[in-house]
Chains A and B, each alone.
Chain A
Amino acid sequence: MSDADYAALVIGGSAGSLEVVCRLLEGLEAPTRLAIVICLHTASRDLDDLCAVLGRHTELPVVEAEDGTAVEANRVHLAAGGYHLLVERSATFALCAGPRIQYARPSIDVLFESMADTYRRYLVGILLSGANADGAAGLRAIHRLGGLTIVQTPETASAPDMPRAALKLFEPDRQNSPSQLLDAVRVISRLAR
Chain B
Amino acid sequence: MVKPRDNEAEQALEAEDIALEAFIHALKLRHGYDFSEYSRASLKRRAQELARKLGVERVGDLIPSTLYEPALVREIVSHLSVPVSSLFRDPEVFQAMRSEVLPMLASWPRINIWLAGCAYGEEVYSLAIMLAEAGLTPRSQIYATDFNDYALERAAEGIFNRQNLPEYRSNYLASGGPGRLSDYYHARYNLIRMRRELLEKVVFAHHNLVTDGVFAEAQLIMCRNVLIYFTQPLKDRVLTLFADSLVRGGFLVLGNKEALSTTSPVADRFELVSAHERIYRLKRDRA
Interface of A toward B, CB cutoff 8 Å: 3-6, 45, 66-68, 80, 82-84, 86-89, 94-99, 110, 113-114, 117-118, 120-122, 144-148, 188, 191
Choose one: B2, B5, B9, B261; the contact of A68 (CB below 8 Å): B261
Contact A45 B232 (CB under 8 A): no
Given A87-B41, A88-B39, A144-B9, check contact A96 B228 (CB 8 Å).
Answer: yes
Q: A86–B261 Cα gap in the complex (Å)?
A: 20
Chain A residues positioned under 8 Å from B42 (CB to CB): 84, 86, 94, 96, 98, 110, 114
Smallest Cβ-Cβ distance to B235: which chain A residue: A68
Contact A146 B5 (CB under 8 A): yes
Chain A residues positioned under 8 Å from B228 (CB to CB): 67, 83, 94-97
B267 to chain A, nearest CB (A): 14
Smallest Cβ-Cβ distance to A88: which chain B residue: B41
Contact B257 A117 (CB under 8 A): no
The DSSP consensus for interface residues of chain B is: loop
B225 within 8 A of A: yes
Q: How many CB-defined contacts (below 8 Å) exist between A and B?
A: 89
Chain A residues positioned under 8 Å from B255 (CB to CB): 97
Chain B residues positioned under 8 Å from A96 (CB to CB): 42, 45, 82, 228-229
Q: A57–B259 Cα gap in the complex (Å)?
A: 29
How many interface residues does B have (CB within 8 Å)? Answer: 29
Choose one: A82, A86, A122, A145; the contact of B39 (CB below 8 Å): A86
B164 within 8 A of A: no
Interface of B toward A, CB cutoff 8 Å: 1-6, 9-10, 13, 39-42, 44-46, 82, 84, 225, 228-229, 232, 235, 255-259, 261
Q: Which 3 A-B pairs have the closest CB atoms?
A: A86-B41, A97-B225, A114-B41
Smallest Cβ-Cβ distance to A80: which chain B residue: B257
Q: A5–B2 Cα gap in the complex (Å)?
A: 6
- Residue among A68, A83, A147 with the most chain B CB within 10 A? A68
Contact A66 B257 (CB under 8 A): yes
Besides A80-B257, A146-B3, A146-B9, 8 other CB < 8 A contacts?
A: A6-B1, A94-B228, A98-B42, A98-B82, A120-B10, A121-B5, A145-B13, A146-B5
